[in-house]
Structure 1
Amino acid sequence: MPPKQTKGEYIETDTGNKVSRKSVILGSQNIILGGKTIIQADCTIRGDLRRTVAPGQQSGNVAIAVGRYCFLSRSSVLRPPGKIARGIYSYYPMKIGDHVFVGEGSVVEAALIGSYVHISKDCVIGKFTIIKDCVRIEEGTVIAPNSVIPSFSVVSGRPGVVVAELPETAVEGLERA
């Protein structure tokens, strides 16, 4: 009789995503992972928070869409943005591009995060923030709700402001990281 196999810490999907068994994923039917994405332990992804619609209306069921080659570090939180609309608190979809790194302990409630974005450790990304492609957010940064961060920017501070620009060759460096 062969020895019993022990379960690994990660579950691997057909598309190459690796999800820690110790992560908390709520509403998984409303979350799309593009492929080759890694979700570490203690991450929380709130797919159960999705847009409420009136009876008889059609709505997409996707609450969070994550692109390819993304990395969600330990204790990070992805939560779709929400607000009161027509007297009802409603959540809106969150879209994350390819090659996005979310650092340890960061909380993200953005509406859109472009590709090649590096969010460092202990950051807070406010509701309905739009982060364009190729952006680096420094450690401990707090970005105010409804902010728009332009491409090739370095953001730092509380509240987060653009402190520098990245060269156009930064995409290759962020892709390797």
Structure 2
Amino acid sequence: MDDPIYYAKNEYIETDTGNKVSRRATIAGPQNIILGGKTIIASGAIIRGDLRRTGPGHAVVISLGRYCLVGEGCVMRPPYKTYRGNFNYYPMKIGDHVHVGANTIVEAAQIGNHVEIGKNCVIGKFTIIKDCARIADNTVVPPNTVIPALSLFGGSPGRFLDDLPESTQEIVEAMTKQYYTRFQLHPNDRS
């Protein structure tokens, strides 16, 4: 077991479902953002739930599953396009056990379960990332790309590099759960 990753009590807000959200993260439009539980939103992350379709009652929802890790400085915003002269935002759905590395920009339509996205990546608008895929650090995924399950993508523009092993699901699930377990309140900060 790796060493704990400590945080200060005044740095993170913990919800009833075990989500840990940095006070230094920007959560815009929180009523339109769903966190599945045991998700960590790091310092400097920006999640834009305030961007929505025109007209009342057209909230665009960004939903993250359980055990998601959103790294420092990440930006997550819903994809958008102009259709028949109307500018619209569309929902973003992120599955369980998804790790998004630091300083990555995500405008995907859908990210499956057990997905790893590296640091300093750009995930283009309406990208669909299937289950158990991995995006290497510094990858730029063009808009509307579909990344198949169990595949490794990398480069700029991002392209298929290799197949991932069948055990990817278990590996990523163990990694995200272990990270969550290691992410603890500093022992000197319990009150």
RMSD of aligned Cα (Å)? 1.3
**Can you list the C-alpha shifts for 1:110-160, whole angstroms capped at 9, x where unaligned?**
000000000000000000000000011000000000010000000000010
Per the TM alignment, residue 72 of structure 1 is displaced from its structure 2 partner at its CA by 0.4
Per the TM alignment, residue 63 of structure 1 is displaced from its structure 2 partner at its CA by 2.1
1:82-121 equivalence runs, <5 A: 82-121=80-119
Q: Number of aligned residue pairs: give it.
A: 168
1:150-161 equivalence runs, <5 A: 150-161=148-159
1:65 maps to 63
Q: 1:22 pairs with 16, 20, 24, which one?
A: 24
Higher RCO (C-alpha 8 Å, min separation 6): 2
Q: Which whole-Å CA distance do the structure 2 matches of 1:170 and 1:114 have between them?
A: 13
**Can you list the C-alpha shifts for 1:14-53, whole angstroms capped at 9, x where unaligned?**
1110000000110000000000000010000000012224
Q: Which whole-Å CA distance do the structure 2 matches of 1:122 and 1:84 have between them?
A: 27
Q: Which whole-Å CA distance do the structure 2 matches of 1:82 and 1:152 have between them?
A: 27
* Partner secondary structure for residue 65 of structure 2: strand
TM-score by length of 1: 0.91
TM-score by length of 2: 0.85
Q: Amino acid of the residue matched to residue 33 of structure 1?
A: L
Q: Amino acid of the residue matched to residue 155 of structure 1?
A: F
Q: Percent identity?
A: 60
Moved over 2 A (4+): none
**Which is richer in helix?**
2
* Partner secondary structure for residue 68 of structure 1: coil
> Does 1:170 pair with 2:168?
yes
* Partner secondary structure for residue 171 of structure 1: helix
Gaps of 5+ in 2: 1-7, 176-191
1:3 maps to none
